[in-house]
Amino acid sequence: MRAFITSSIGVTCAAVLVLPLAVPAGAAPDTSTFPAESAEPVDVPGSTQSLSMRTLSAPFDRATGVPTRAAAAPEQGLPEREVRPFSLVGVVWDDANTELHGTVQVRTRATGTGEWSDWQDVETHNAEHSADPGTAERESGAVRGSTAPLWVGDSDGVAVRVHPEAPDPLDRTATAVPLPAGLRLELVDPGEDPQQAPATGPEIATGPETATGPETEAGAEAEAGAESAAGVPAAVDGRIAPLAPSVLPALSKAESQARGEAQAGLAPGAQPYIGPRPSIITRKGWGADEKLRERTFVYTSKVKAAFIHHSATGNNYKCSQAASILRGIYRYHVKSSGWRDIGYNFAVDKCGNIYEGRAGGVTRAVLGAHTLGFNTNSMGIAVLGTFTKSNPPAAAVNAVAKLTAWKLGLFGADPRGKATLVSGGGNKYKKGKKVKLNVISGHRDGFATDCPGVRLYEKLGSARTSSAKLQGR
């Protein structure tokens, strides 16, 4: 049997598409995320606090403190308050199809010190990261509008203000665009890192092996082959030793090609251009709570392109905190934004560690929610950080090259080449339009957005070259 290495959690999950966002068996429905209008914190099972916002004051000019003309919409937010501990924040609203035209800023109080931060900007990326229009995930009725999440570290106090975009002062007919209805501040505590027991035998990395077509409804659980924990490095970047039993170890180029040749659809004797598989920290390794997500998997035909993102969660983190950040993003995507799972297929931290994202198998064409309009036949890789003004670390760019050399190689894609994808609908390309894109593209290539930040976007050329070399091209 072909030995495919896939997600270590797949063995417990049936690969049958059912109703989107179904409640896991044995779990009570979570109805507390969006309570009646209230400024008081409300528990969400796990570790999310959801705070309803209110009108703060009449609109004013931040530079002068003078009230603006009456046409401006009022500001919403919450004054400083003590809350239960959290580490990641974001803002959500009722309608995912409504954009937030304005700015979002938060202040937080560090746990144990009582010190308040300066006002920090939260990226209002609106709908650009989400499932495609018309898909079951998008049309589930659970999806909400949301900003990017921001990592703030251990905090126990918060304040937020959402300032609406002012009308054009030169246009006498312009009217203010109101803020979206149902604005809420989401405070996420990612919980403790998983406690890994010492490895006592082979680490089984299992998941569904076969699929039957685009956006597949695969049959039942399928074996996928086993990967021994023997040979797993003690650490990926010198800090991840406790997670080692939940890391898929690196494979040589020959091993990667031997395992991936059949999936690439190569004729016998043909040269497989598949890069060596890098070490990948699995969902188990970063502590994903599998009860949060939709229990089933959705697949597309192949992976023709990779879209590179930045998470916009900020750069103020240690690599030892990356697993916590991922757990926070995961919970925010599922509980706060209403998605079926974390949106990205993979993540990379600034030390170059690679993490499995959306469940379904690291070798598989798992349908993600990362590039609105182009999630089909692609994968999304998020580099943890914000790279609008800061350069991405070389280790992170190298990790993107290694990951794409392997994963794109499994599907016969040349990192230096072009791929034709069909738009599922967005603000840059109409639904149904065939678009030729770089096999390694930035998010902004498929959607009008700043993501992945100009500094990371500028590095994609070198990533393409390095990825192709790793494939042997």
Residues 318, 388: Cα–Cα separation, whole Å: 19
Mean predicted confidence (pLDDT) in 374-386: 95
In this model, does residue 213 exceed pLDDT 50? Answer: no
Cβ-based neighbours of 467, under 8 Å, separated by 6 or more? 275, 400, 401, 402, 404, 405, 408, 415, 416, 440
Provide the pLDDT for residue 31.
32
Q: Look up residue 307 and give its DSSP letter.
A: E
Q: What is the largest CA-CA distance in the chain?
A: 75
pTM of the model: 0.80
* pLDDT at residue 326, rounded to an integer: 97
Q: Closest by alpha carbon to 383, among 274, 271, 463, 439? A: 463
Q: How confident is the model over 136-165, as pLDDT tens digits?
A: 898 888 899 999 999 999 999 999 999 998
Which residue type, as a one-letter code, is found at position 284?
A: K
Whose tokens are 């002012």? That residue is: 166
Q: Which band of pLDDT confidence, cut at 50, 70 and 90, is reported for residue 424?
A: confident
42 or 108, greater pLDDT: 108
Distance, in Å, from the CA atom of 407 to the CA atom of 345, rounded to the nearest integer, reads 11
Render pLDDT for 446-462 as a digit per residue (tens, 0 to 9).
Answer: 888 888 999 999 999 99
Determine the angle formed by the axes of helices 394-410 and 460-471, rounding to 10 degrees.
Answer: 50
**pLDDT of the residue at 218:** 34
Query: Each residue of 20-45: pLDDT tens digit?
Result: 333 333 333 333 333 333 333 444 44
Cα–Cα distance between 64 and 7 in angstroms, integer? 55
Task: State the pLDDT confidence band at 126, using cuts at 50, 70 and 90.
Answer: low
Q: Is the pLDDT of residue 299 over 70?
A: yes
Domains of the chain, each with CATH number or no CATH: 43-188 (2.60.120), 195-471 (3.40.80.10)
Summarize the confidence of residues 100-125 as an average pLDDT: 94
Sign of CA dihedral 232, 234, 240, 241: positive
Question: CA–CA separation, 212 vs 208, rounded Å?
Answer: 11
Q: Where are the alpha helices (DSSP H) in 312-382?
A: 322-331
Of 34 and 69, more confident = 69
Per-residue pLDDT band at 242 (split at 50, 70, 90): very low
For the chain, the average pLDDT equals: 79
Residue 349, pLDDT above cutoff 50:
yes
What pLDDT, on a 0 to 100 scale, did the predictor assign at position 73?
77
pLDDT digits (tens, 9 = 90+) for 155-192: 999 999 999 988 766 766 667 788 999 999 999 999 98
